Structure 1
Amino acid sequence: MSPERTAVRRRRVDASMDLLTSLYRDSLDPGYAASGKHRKRWWLVGLVAMVIGLMIGTSVADQLRAAPAEQVERDQLVQRVEDAAATTDALRARAAELQQQNRALSEGALAKDPAAAEVQRQLDLLGPATGMQAVTGPGVVLTADDADDAERRGSKVVDIDIRQAVNGLWRSGAEAIAVNGHRLSSRTAIRGAGDAITVDYRSLTRPYRIEAIGEPNALLQGFPGTPGGAWWAYLKQNYGIRYELTSAGSLRLNADPGLGVRNAERKP
């Protein structure tokens, strides 16, 4: 018997039904079955996303609940600072009144003593320069403020800028200077406290107003040639910080109530 006939005899009877058997056994496409396995994993991904969302929501809710309390604390702190500033202003005004009364009593008591009267006269001459007495007269006003672009580096006025302006006015011939109404003396400190500028530990607010009593033309012409004038010209040109120097026909600068005679001795 030939090999071909042997192979034909050995074929299965249902060999011709293989295609139908395969379709029955594997009714789903292999790719569809694989994707089904991946879809079974989505429930786990959904569960993880739900847990993460719950955690984020809880955190946001906690922050929202804490925000009002923080705002209340901030408002209370601001109110305390404002109250303390108002109290300080009242005490300074009271100190100025007491200084005036003390001055009047001193003049009355020392009027009959020629030596004491001479000392008082010298004190009167030195008082305006030291800041112990209020002064009036013509001068100039330097008004300064931050640049329009507040986000730009170097666009805000800081304490050293105020010091440079004050020193420039002194060098130009100023006889008395006040910054935002605070009279300057040899013991005045102009410093930075965080984002604020302080004069004798009193915070300043924008815009900054520097008043200087002296001969107006001399101050106007002399300030640009000082290191302080060059400093401010550089700030204006490179950082956009604004400042303007104008003459004033009459200014009044109050005395510094923090000054006073603490120790005195008679010299031969």
Structure 2
Amino acid sequence: MEYTSGAASWRKVLRRVVVALLPRRAAQHRRSVWTVGVPLIALAAGLLFTTTATTAGGTSLREDRRPELAQLIEDRRDRVEASEERAAALRDKVEDQTSALGGSDTGVTAQRERAAASRQAAGFTALTGPGISVELDDAPQYGDGTQPEDASNDDLVVHQGDVQAVVNALWAGGAEAMSIMNVRILATSAVRCVGNTLLLHGRVYSPPFKITAIGDPAALQRALAASEGVRSFKDAVVHYQLGYRETVEPTVTVPAYDGPSGLRSAKVPG
């Protein structure tokens, strides 16, 4: 190897040194990044695992909660039924005490007789006679789980307005008494739908919804045929295969109303 002196020689040496050191410095820089980064990543992962464990509380976060929800609904339903039974027992107790008091109080006796004369018209007694029943049902799914073309989910279920249209038509046709799902309907009854279920007097019913009315069958059928809401539902029956069936009943019984009879508010017409 030949060595030279002077500034040029030193510049060559410095270039060689710089070239030799650069890779080592880059490698050292990479090592320093990993030396700091790995502990930070491990710390973040530890915090994530700790937060997940605390949130889960010993349970699986991916566990299906639908069975738990179904059990909760069932428990609530049992509690409502138990409360209704207690309320019925209390009403019977009040009735017994009122009857006992009426035996010695002429004013109470007179009011009880006046109330008894209105019980049938108010729906507090069962009624039997000829009439008609109407059944409304959701559209069935095809065997492969599909639905009719160009149909939305709303097109395939019975809605609150459909049930109300039938009820209003039957009242307009001269119905003397009516029930939905064998539950007596009064002037104060409200028909509400939640999804594709029916909420009536605090209870939930699933389709098909059966509406029974006592009255002149021919007049009731004419009222149904004249109802715009019922005709609209029949059109949906044709297009989306919803269920609709009218049945003339030679003799049918509509049960008495057995729920609470107290009014929350009332207004006397002027």
TM-score, structure 1 as length reference: 0.62
Contact 1:189 1:199 in 2 (8 A): yes
**Compared CA separation, residues 160 and 256, structure 1 to 2 (3 A):** farther
In the alignment, what sits opposite 2:254? 252
Once the two structures are overlaid, the 10-residue window that deviates more, 75-84 or 139-148, is 139-148
Structure 1: runs of 5 or more not aligned: 1-64
Displacement of 1:251 in angstroms is: 1.3
Cα separation, 1, equivalents of 2:199 and 2:127: 24
Count of matched residue pairs: 196
Contact 2:162 2:230 in 1 (8 A): no
Contact 1:146 1:241 in 2 (8 A): yes
In the alignment, what sits opposite 1:76? 68
In the alignment, what sits opposite 2:117? 125
Cα separation, 2, equivalents of 1:244 and 1:225: 16
Structure 2: runs of 5 or more not aligned: 1-59
Contact 2:174 2:216 in 1 (8 A): yes
Contact 1:145 1:242 in 2 (8 A): yes
TM-score, structure 2 as length reference: 0.61
Identity percentage over the alignment? Answer: 24
Cα separation, 2, equivalents of 1:263 and 1:110: 27
Are 1:94 and 2:95 counterparts?
A: no
CA RMSD for the aligned pairs? 2.9
Cα separation, 2, equivalents of 1:93 and 1:84: 14
Are 1:136 and 2:137 counterparts?
A: no
Q: SS of the counterpart of 1:243?
A: strand
Are 1:198 and 2:189 counterparts?
A: no
Contact 1:144 1:244 in 2 (8 A): yes
* 1:202-255 residue CA offsets vs partner (Å, 9 max, x unmatched): 322121111223344432343322344434333323432211122331313241
In the alignment, what sits opposite 1:220? 221
Are 1:243 and 2:244 counterparts?
A: yes
**Compared CA separation, residues 99 and 227, structure 1 to 2 (3 A):** farther
In the alignment, what sits opposite 2:77? 85
